[in-house]
Structure 1
Amino acid sequence: MTKPLNILITNDDGPLDNNVSQYIRPFVQYITKHRPNWNLVIVVPNIQRSWIGKAHFADKELTATFIYSDPNSTDNKFLGPFNRPQVGNSKFKFKPNISGSKDSEKIPQNSIEWCLLDGTPASCADIGCNHVSNIEHFDLVISGPNVGRNTSRPYATSSGTVGAAFEACITGNTRAIALSWAYYNTQITVDEESFETVSRLSCDVIESLLKSWDYENKVDVYSVNVPLYPGIRYEDTKAVFAPLAQNSWTSVFTNYEEEDDNDENDNGGAIKFKWDPDYTFSRNTVLNSEGINDGKLVESKMCTITPLRASFHVSLNDEHFGKELIYHSLLDTTSSSDVAVLTINPKEYIAEPLTVSIKKYLPTLPIIKAESIEPFFDKFTRIFQYGEYEQIDASKLHSGVLHYFANTFIYRKALIRKQYLTQTINTFTAKNPTSILKTAYMESFNIDVDYAEFLDDALDEAWELRQELEDPKNNKWWILKPSMSDKAQGIRVFKTVRDLQAIFDSFDEEEIEGENTSENKIITSQLRHFIVQEYLQAPLLLNNRKFHIRCYIIAKGCLKVMVYERMLALFASTEFKNLSVDNYNVLSAEDLSCHLTNTCLQETDKVKEIDPVREFDTLDEISAENKENIKQQIREIAHDTFLAAVNANRLNFQPLENAFEIYGVDFLVDRDYKVKLLEVNAYPDFKQTGDALKNLIFELFDNVTQTCIAPIFQKKEDEDIVGDIKLNNFTTVLDESIHDW
C-alpha cells in the first residue's frame, strides 16, 4: 500500500472566488478524488494577497476562520466562515464546534475543510506547518495553484505564491512547490475537463519531483508553471527544467498629482502612485532574451520546473536546463518510490562509472549523492546505497528487511583479514586435501606481536614457524604482512629470526621517534596481528620485472561468485633481484622495491620509465594458451576460496541476500605458470588502474550494475533495455544457496 503523504496547501489568491481565485477549487477536488494517499490540510489567506512576496504583517494578531465546500460542486460556493471547525472529523487540532448551529447542520461529513487566515501567504505557510494541525511534520507544502504565471525574475521575487513556499522551507523545515497555472489570451477560466487535465499534470509533476528531489544541489523549492488553455492534452504537454528568465522590468507604478480646486493654501492636490504594471513590456523582454528560460517555455505551452534555494538562488547547473521530466505517479504500483544513494565522494575514481551504468540500466531511478544514508529511510520504498563500509547502516542491512540494499556484506573478515584468510584456508584444506588451495596458498603462520621485545614469546607460541626459521638447511625466504594493513604497509621480506627481530625493532624505533623512514612503515602497537608467509622466490618475470595480477571478483547474495575476466597486471618499479643473504638488507627500502608490486609505493620518476599497470590480456610476453591456463586457475581458486569462507569460517563470512561486494583479489604466478593467491581486498583501490585503462573499470561497473543493482529495481519498462545487452565479462564460478547458519 502506498505510504500516505501529509501535504499542506496554501496560496496567495485566497479561498474559492469566481473573480480572483478560480483555480484552487478544481485542484483540491482533483486531489480528493484521484490522490487518496494525500492527506490534505488547507490553510490560505482569507482574501487575495498577490504580489506580496515572503512578507508578514509585523505585530498583527492573526485570526483563523473556517469554511466548507462541496467536493463535487463545479462552482465556488462554500459554507461559512465559522470561528471554529464545524465537523467532527476536523483535521485541525482545535476542538470543533458541533453544537448544532443551523449552518453547521448543513455541512456534509465529506466536505472539504478550509482554514482562512487574515494574514499573508507566508504567514499561512508558517502557521499551517507549525500551529493548526496535529501533523508534526509535512512531507510537502504546495503553494498554489496561482492564477497566472510566476515565470521570470520580476514575478518570482514578488510572488506571494513563491514567498509562501520559501517560508515553508524556512519555518516549516519542509520541501515546497510553488505551483502556478499559466493562462493565455486573457482566458482565465476554462471548461472542467481542461481543469482536470491541468490538475492531473500538476499532481504528476509534483509526485515526480517528490520521487527524485535533488538533494545534491540542495533544492528547497521547485517553482512549477503549468499551461492552462481549453482543450489541453495531457499526452502533448512536456515538463522541462528551466532557469528563471533574468530580465528586468519597468516600474509597476505611474504617478500623478490629484487636482484640488478647494485647497485654500494653494498646495495643489495629493501626489498619488497608480498600480500600472506594463505586462506587455515584461513579456517582450522574456521572449527576446537569449537561451532557455521559464518564460519562453511556458509561452510554448510547456510545464516548466525551476529549482530554487530559499534565497532566490537557482540551484541547477546549466546542463540540466532543457532536460525533460519523466512523469511518475506515486499511486502507480509499477513505479514505486525507489532511489540510489551514493555516499562516496563525487570526485572519487569510480563515481563516474557507477553513475553512468546506473543511468544506463535504470534510466528512471533517481540518483542522490549525499554524505549519509540516514535521511532517506523514511522517504523511499527501496534504497540502494553505494558507499564505504563505515557509511553503511549495518543494523538495517543485516535485519533481513529487503528494502535496503548495499555494496558490502557486514561480516567478511574471513577473507579480507590476512590472519583470518590463513585460518579459513588451513581449515578448509585440512578437510579438502585435493583443493587447489593446498598448493595455491603459500605456507603461512599467524603471530601476534605488540612490541618488538615480545617477538620471542610470539615465536614460542608459533613453534612450527620457529622451527622453520631456525632450520639451517631451510632455504626458504619469508614475507611478513600485517593482517589489517593495506597498500603494502609494513610488508618486509626476511630469512632468519634475527632478520625478523631487526624488522620489529625498526617498527618500534619509527613509532617512538616519529620518523617516516619508509613509505610502508607500520605501528605495531596499533596492529598486533601479522602473518608470516613463505615468499615465492621464483616468480614469473616479464622484462625482468615481478608482477602480480589484480582480479575483481564479485560476490552477490547468498551466494553467487563471479570473476571479472578483464584483469590487471601490476609491475614492480625496479628489475628483479634474486634474494641472497649477501646482497639483501631486510631494512632497506631500495632492496625491497623489486619485490613489491603495489603501485601506491612506486616513486614517480621510476614509474615514468615503465608501464606499471597493464591489462593482463595485452601481455604479449605470455602466450594465449598460458593466459587461459592462468585464468582457469584463478577461477578455481576463487571458487574454493569463497566456498572455504562459508564452510570453514561461517562466523566471519556471512553473505546477505540484499548485498553484493566487489573484491580486489591479488595473485602471483610462478615460473611454471602456477598461480598463487596473495590476498583479498574489500573496497579495492580502483584508481590504481589509472586513466589509460579506465574503460576496464567502466565495463566492470556496467556488468556489476546489470547483474547486481538493476535486478533490485528493474521494472517492466526497463527490461527491454537490459535484455538487449549481452554480459560478456563475468564468469560465474560459484552459485549456491547458503542460509543455514
Structure 2
Amino acid sequence: MRILITNDDGPLNDDFSPYIRPFIQHIKNAHPHWDITVCVPHIQRSWNGKAHLAGKDLSATFIYSDIESDDNSYWGPFNKPQKLQSKDSKLPYIINPEIPSDSIEWILIDGTPASCSNIALHLLKDTKFDLVISGPNVGRNSSAAYITSSATVGAAMESVITGDTKAIAVSWAYYEGRKIVPSKLMKMASMRTTQIITHLIENWDDQTDIYSINIPLVDELSSSTKIFYAPIWENRWTAIFNGPHIREPVKGSMIEDGRDNELISFNWSPDFNNHKNSHHYNGDFAKGEIAQGTDMDIIEKRYISVTPLRATFKSIEHLTGELTLKLTIPTEEESEVLEVPELVTSLTISKDEYIYKPIKQAMTKFLPNYKIQSKLPDFDLVQKIFQYGDYEQIDVDKLMLESSKYFANSYIYRKALIRKHYLAHTVHSYVVKHPESILKTAVLPSYTLDLDYAEFLDDALDESWELRHEIEFGRGRWWIVKPSMSEKGQGIRVFKTIEDLQKIFDSFDDESGDDDSAEFMDDNKIVISQLRHFIVQEYLTNPLLLPSMDNKKFHIRCYITCKGDLEVFVYNRMLALFAPTPYEDMTKQFYFDPTDLKKLQSHLTNTCLQSKFETKKISVKEFSNLVDISDENKAKIIKQIHEIAHDIFLAASTVNRMNFQPLPNAFETYGVDFLVDSNFEVKLLEINAFPDFKQTGDELKSLIDELFYNVAKSVIRPLLDPEHPEECDEKIFTKVLKHKSNEWS
C-alpha cells in the first residue's frame, strides 16, 4: 500500500501543526508495511480550497524527524533529500550519515496543499499512489461554509481530479479553543482515524471519490465513540471581514506615490458562530438550528462524522446512518491508549534486551496492580509510574519534582562513583576523615592525570608532581593507566616508567597496528583529546590465580543496588570474569613492551574484548563455584566486599554529595568490580552504572533472574509502597548500609 500524506497546516510546529507528527508515527507503528510519502506546504496554508498559485514556480526543501520523537524537533531544512526514500524516487539525493535511516522524511513545497498533491502524485515517484490522506487538519471541516474553503479537502479533491487517486481528508475538531491536547488524546485520535481509514480502504464505495472525516478531540473520545455517515450541512454565513477602515498605505508601495495618502482596508474577522440553514434564506440571513444528522450536527454531538463525497462537492446520499467498524484485536500500542490505569510500569528498554524478560517477570509478580506497557503514559492521567529504562529515557525533571508519583531505576547525579577520577577523589576525601576505613587498603594508590595531547605528558606530570615522584622513585612498582570516562576496558595499559607512559600516549596517536592486534586495537584504542582525564593506579602484581582455570587473572563482578536515600544491598551471587590467556608476571620479564596489545590480554579481564581472540574459552563462572578457593576464604572475600560497599556508598553520600545525590523515588543497580590478591585481600576496581548484564551468558542466566527477583521484592515494591513490609533474604541480598542525607559523617 503506497500512501501520500499531505495537509494544510504545514510541517512540524507546536502552534500551527501539532497533530501530524503523532498521526504519522501511529500509522508507521500500526501499518509498518505501508509505504508512506509525506509532502506538505512549507508553511500553514489554511483556507486555500483547491487552489494553486498560478504563475508561481515552486521549490522543495526537506526536513527529517525521529520516528520515536515526542516533540516537533527535526533535522534541516536541506535543499536535497538526505537519504534514498525508495528505489522509484525521482529526486536526486545525498547520503547524510547524521540522519537516522528510519527517520521520517518531510518534503516541503512552497505552494498550496493542492499543489503538494499534484507534485507528489506526478513528479516524486514512478509508481502510482493507492491513497492520499490529507490532514489531520487543526479544527473541523464540516458544513458548506468550511468545507468549500478547506485546503485539507482541497488537497484531497486535487488528488482525485489530477491523479484519479482515492483520497481521505481528516480533521480533528477541538472545543473551547483547546487546540493543544494531551498526547494520550492525540494517540486515541490517531488510532480511531487509522481504524476508520483502514475500514474505508477495505470497503470503498464505488460512487465515492473522497471521504471527509471529523474526529472530536474530547476527553471522552474512545474506541466506543460512535461513527456516523453524515451529509454536508448546507449552511450559509455572513461577512468574514469587517470594515471599511482607513489606514496609511505601506511605505514604499505604489499607492504611497499616488495623490491620496489614505487606503481603504478590510480586516479578517469571521464570526464562526453565525451559521444559518440554507433553506431559511429569504433575503436576510435568519438564525436556524443545525440540520439533524449532518456533519456539523454529528461533530457538535462529539461523535465522529464520515462524509462521502464526489469530486464535485456532492454528498453520496445512499450512505447514511451509523458506520460500524469490524472488531479487531488491538495492538499493544492501541491497548495502552484504550486503557487509563492508575498504576503503570513502563518498561522502555527494548524487548530484545537480555534483561527484559527477568524484569517483566519480577514486575508481574511483585507489582501485580501495575499495568506493564512499553511507553511512558501521560503523567496527568495516572496515579503512580514506575519506569525501567535507559538513562537517556528517564525524565529527569519529573524525577526531581514528582517524587511521590514517578519512580525510576536510576539516580541523576552519581559521578562520584561511576567516573574513575571522581571515585578516586571520593575515596581520598573519605579516608582523610576516616583513616580506619577499609577503603584505605582496598583501593590501590591512585592519581589523576589531565592532558589533551601526548606531547603534553611532561607538563601534566609537573601538575601531578606526586605521581611523577612515585613513578620515578617507586622502587620498581608497576602502574596501570585508565581513561576516566571510558568503559569496556578501552584504553587501559600497564607500564613501569615515565618513558613507558610516554610511549603509551604516543601509540594512541599512531593509527598503525600489526595484523595480530589491529582488530583488538580498534576496540581498545582511544583519542586522548576526547577523554583528557586519566587515572594512574598502582598495578596489582600478585593477583589470585587459580590452577583449575589455567592461572588466568580474574576479577569479581558484584551487583550492588541502592534504594532511595539511602539503603545499599549487595547481591551475594557474584561472577568471576577471567582473562583470555594465562597471567604473565611482568616483574619476571627482562623486557616488557607497554604497547604490545597481545601481551595485554593476560592482564585484562573484560569479557567484551575477548571475542576478538580464538583463545577465549570459559571466561565467566559463578564465584561460589570456584573450586580452588576454600569456603572460608570465599566468606572472607564476601565480608570484605560488604565492608567496601558500605564505606564507598557512605563516602559518596557524605564527602562528595554534590556528585552523588540519592533520590527517595529512585533506585539503581551498579556492576562493581573487585580484584583479589594472592593473600585473599580484596581491592575495589571500579563502579559501573547500567552494567552489561548479558556478559553473564546464557548458562548463568538464573543468576540475573534471581537478582531482579530480589530487587523487585526488597527494593522496588517497598519504594513504591512504603507501607509494605520489607522482605529481604539476607543470605542472598544483604543490606549493608542504611543512611539518611542529614546524617553527616
Smaller-chain TM-score bracket? 0.5 to 0.7
Which one of the candidate residues 444, 447, 463 is aligned to 2:446?
444
Conserved in 1, the CA contact under 8 Å of 2:348 and 2:393? Answer: yes
Q: Report the alpha carbon displacement of residue 398 of structure 1 after superposing the two structures with TM.
A: 2.2
Tell me: CA distance 1:579–1:389, structure 2 relative to 1, closer, same or farther (3 Å): same
Unaligned stretches of 5+ residues in structure 2 = 1-135, 148-167, 190-195, 206-211, 227-317, 320-324
Which one of the candidate residues 208, 224, 231 is aligned to 1:179?
224
Matched residue SS, 2:407: strand
Which one of the candidate residues 703, 725, 731 is aligned to 2:734?
731
Q: Report the alpha carbon displacement of residue 369 of structure 1 after superposing the two structures with TM.
A: 1.5
Q: Report the alpha carbon displacement of residue 724 of structure 1 after superposing the two structures with TM.
A: 9.3
Tell me: CA distance 1:409–1:168, structure 2 relative to 1, closer, same or farther (3 Å): farther
Tell me: CA distance 1:316–1:737, structure 2 relative to 1, closer, same or farther (3 Å): closer
Q: Residue in 1 aligned with 2:357?
A: 352
Alignment size in residue pairs: 470
CA distance in structure 1 between the aligned counterparts of 2:730 and 2:221, rounded to whole angstroms: 43
Conserved in 2, the CA contact under 8 Å of 1:168 and 1:175? Answer: no
Which one of the candidate residues 354, 357, 362 is aligned to 2:367?
362
Task: Find out whether 1:526 has 2:530 as its counterpart.
Answer: yes
Task: Find out whether 1:555 has 2:559 as its counterpart.
Answer: no
Q: Report the alpha carbon displacement of residue 135 of structure 1 after superposing the two structures with TM.
A: 4.3
CA distance in structure 2 between the aligned counterparts of 1:458 and 1:180, rounded to whole angstroms: 70
Matched residue SS, 2:614: helix
Tell me: CA distance 1:582–1:174, structure 2 relative to 1, closer, same or farther (3 Å): farther
TM-score, normalised with respect to structure 1 = 0.57
CA distance in structure 2 between the aligned counterparts of 1:733 and 1:725, rounded to whole angstroms: 12
Q: Report the alpha carbon displacement of residue 442 of structure 1 after superposing the two structures with TM.
A: 0.4
Tell me: CA distance 1:154–1:410, structure 2 relative to 1, closer, same or farther (3 Å): closer
Task: Find out whether 1:407 has 2:409 as its counterpart.
Answer: yes
Tell me: CA distance 1:180–1:422, structure 2 relative to 1, closer, same or farther (3 Å): closer
Which one of the candidate residues 637, 647, 670 is aligned to 2:644?
637
Q: Residue in 2 aligned with 1:27?
A: none
CA distance in structure 1 between the aligned counterparts of 2:468 and 2:722, rounded to whole angstroms: 60
Task: Find out whether 1:702 has 2:709 as its counterpart.
Answer: yes
Q: Residue in 2 aligned with 1:51?
A: none
Q: Residue in 2 aligned with 1:509?
A: 510
Task: Find out whether 1:665 has 2:672 as its counterpart.
Answer: yes
Q: Report the alpha carbon displacement of residue 440 of structure 1 after superposing the two structures with TM.
A: 0.6
Tell me: CA distance 1:173–1:681, structure 2 relative to 1, closer, same or farther (3 Å): farther
CA distance in structure 2 between the aligned counterparts of 1:353 and 1:502, rounded to whole angstroms: 46
CA distance in structure 1 between the aligned counterparts of 2:359 and 2:602, rounded to whole angstroms: 34
Tell me: CA distance 1:180–1:135, structure 2 relative to 1, closer, same or farther (3 Å): closer
CA-to-aligned-CA distance 1:563-595 (integer Å, 9 cap, x gap): 011100000000111014524210011111000
Write out aligned runs for 1:574-589 (5 A): 574-580=581-587, 582-589=590-597
Conserved in 1, the CA contact under 8 Å of 2:718 and 2:726? Answer: no
Conserved in 1, the CA contact under 8 Å of 2:345 and 2:385? Answer: yes
Q: Report the alpha carbon displacement of residue 368 of structure 1 after superposing the two structures with TM.
A: 2.1
Write out aligned runs for 1:41-440 (5 A): 60=144, 129-130=173-174, 132-136=175-179, 172=217, 176-179=221-224, 306-307=329-330, 315=331, 337-370=342-375, 373=376, 376-399=378-401, 401-440=403-442
Q: Residue in 1 aligned with 2:472?
A: 470
Q: Report the alpha carbon displacement of residue 615 of structure 1 after superposing the two structures with TM.
A: 0.8
Letter in 2 for 1:346: K
Conserved in 1, the CA contact under 8 Å of 2:728 and 2:734? Answer: no
Conserved in 1, the CA contact under 8 Å of 2:714 and 2:727? Answer: no
Matched residue SS, 2:510: helix
CA distance in structure 1 between the aligned counterparts of 2:146 and 2:396, rounded to whole angstroms: 49
Letter in 2 for 1:574: T
Conserved in 1, the CA contact under 8 Å of 2:141 and 2:214? Answer: no
Tell me: CA distance 1:448–1:689, structure 2 relative to 1, closer, same or farther (3 Å): same
CA distance in structure 2 between the aligned counterparts of 1:451 and 1:715, rounded to whole angstroms: 52
Q: Report the alpha carbon displacement of residue 316 of structure 1 after superposing the two structures with TM.
A: 5.4
Letter in 2 for 1:550: R
CA distance in structure 1 between the aligned counterparts of 2:218 and 2:696, rounded to whole angstroms: 44
Tell me: CA distance 1:619–1:168, structure 2 relative to 1, closer, same or farther (3 Å): farther
Q: Residue in 2 aligned with 1:711?
A: 718
Matched residue SS, 2:553: strand
Task: Find out whether 1:539 has 2:543 as its counterpart.
Answer: yes
Q: Residue in 2 aligned with 1:106?
A: none
Q: Report the alpha carbon displacement of residue 454 of structure 1 after superposing the two structures with TM.
A: 0.7
Conserved in 2, the CA contact under 8 Å of 1:126 and 1:172? Answer: no
Unaligned stretches of 5+ residues in structure 1 = 1-53, 64-121, 144-149, 160-165, 182-273, 276-293, 296-303, 308-314, 331-335
CA-to-aligned-CA distance 1:681-713 (integer Å, 9 cap, x gap): 111111111111111111111111222322344
CA-to-aligned-CA distance 1:276-311 (integer Å, 9 cap, x gap): xxxxxxxxxxxxxxxxxx99xxxxxxxx8842xxxx
Q: Report the alpha carbon displacement of residue 410 of structure 1 after superposing the two structures with TM.
A: 1.3
Q: Residue in 1 aligned with 2:633?
A: 626
Tell me: CA distance 1:486–1:666, structure 2 relative to 1, closer, same or farther (3 Å): same
Tell me: CA distance 1:305–1:537, structure 2 relative to 1, closer, same or farther (3 Å): same
CA-to-aligned-CA distance 1:536-556 (integer Å, 9 cap, x gap): 000001231100000000111
Tell me: CA distance 1:558–1:521, structure 2 relative to 1, closer, same or farther (3 Å): same
Tell me: CA distance 1:386–1:156, structure 2 relative to 1, closer, same or farther (3 Å): same
Tell me: CA distance 1:491–1:724, structure 2 relative to 1, closer, same or farther (3 Å): closer
CA distance in structure 2 between the aligned counterparts of 1:393 and 1:436, rounded to whole angstroms: 37
Q: Report the alpha carbon displacement of residue 136 of structure 1 after superposing the two structures with TM.
A: 4.0
Which one of the candidate residues 598, 601, 613 is aligned to 2:606?
598
Conserved in 2, the CA contact under 8 Å of 1:549 and 1:667? Answer: yes
Task: Find out whether 1:482 has 2:486 as its counterpart.
Answer: no
Which one of the candidate residues 596, 610, 623 is aligned to 2:617?
610
CA distance in structure 2 between the aligned counterparts of 1:174 and 1:586, rounded to whole angstroms: 67
CA-to-aligned-CA distance 1:445-500 (integer Å, 9 cap, x gap): 111111111101111111121112112x6121000011110001010000000000
Tell me: CA distance 1:488–1:562, structure 2 relative to 1, closer, same or farther (3 Å): same
Letter in 2 for 1:503: I
Matched residue SS, 1:672: coil
Tell me: CA distance 1:180–1:439, structure 2 relative to 1, closer, same or farther (3 Å): closer
Tell me: CA distance 1:715–1:466, structure 2 relative to 1, closer, same or farther (3 Å): closer
Q: Report the alpha carbon displacement of residue 179 of structure 1 after superposing the two structures with TM.
A: 2.9
Tell me: CA distance 1:624–1:363, structure 2 relative to 1, closer, same or farther (3 Å): same
Tell me: CA distance 1:365–1:468, structure 2 relative to 1, closer, same or farther (3 Å): same
Matched residue SS, 1:177: coil
Tell me: CA distance 1:468–1:358, structure 2 relative to 1, closer, same or farther (3 Å): same
CA distance in structure 2 between the aligned counterparts of 1:525 and 1:553, rounded to whole angstroms: 33
Conserved in 1, the CA contact under 8 Å of 2:403 and 2:664? Answer: no
CA-to-aligned-CA distance 1:162-204 (integer Å, 9 cap, x gap): xxxx9566x74989434399xxxxxxxxxxxxxxxxxxxxxxx
Q: Residue in 1 aligned with 2:662?
A: 655
Conserved in 2, the CA contact under 8 Å of 1:445 and 1:531? Answer: yes
Q: Residue in 2 aligned with 1:199?
A: none
Which one of the candidate residues 577, 585, 591 is aligned to 1:570?
577
Conserved in 1, the CA contact under 8 Å of 2:563 and 2:719? Answer: no
Conserved in 1, the CA contact under 8 Å of 2:424 and 2:447? Answer: yes
Letter in 2 for 1:596: L
TM-score, normalised with respect to structure 2 = 0.56
What's the Cα RMSD here? 4.2
CA-to-aligned-CA distance 1:662-691 (integer Å, 9 cap, x gap): 110000000110000000111111111111
Tell me: CA distance 1:455–1:511, structure 2 relative to 1, closer, same or farther (3 Å): farther
Letter in 1 for 2:469: Q
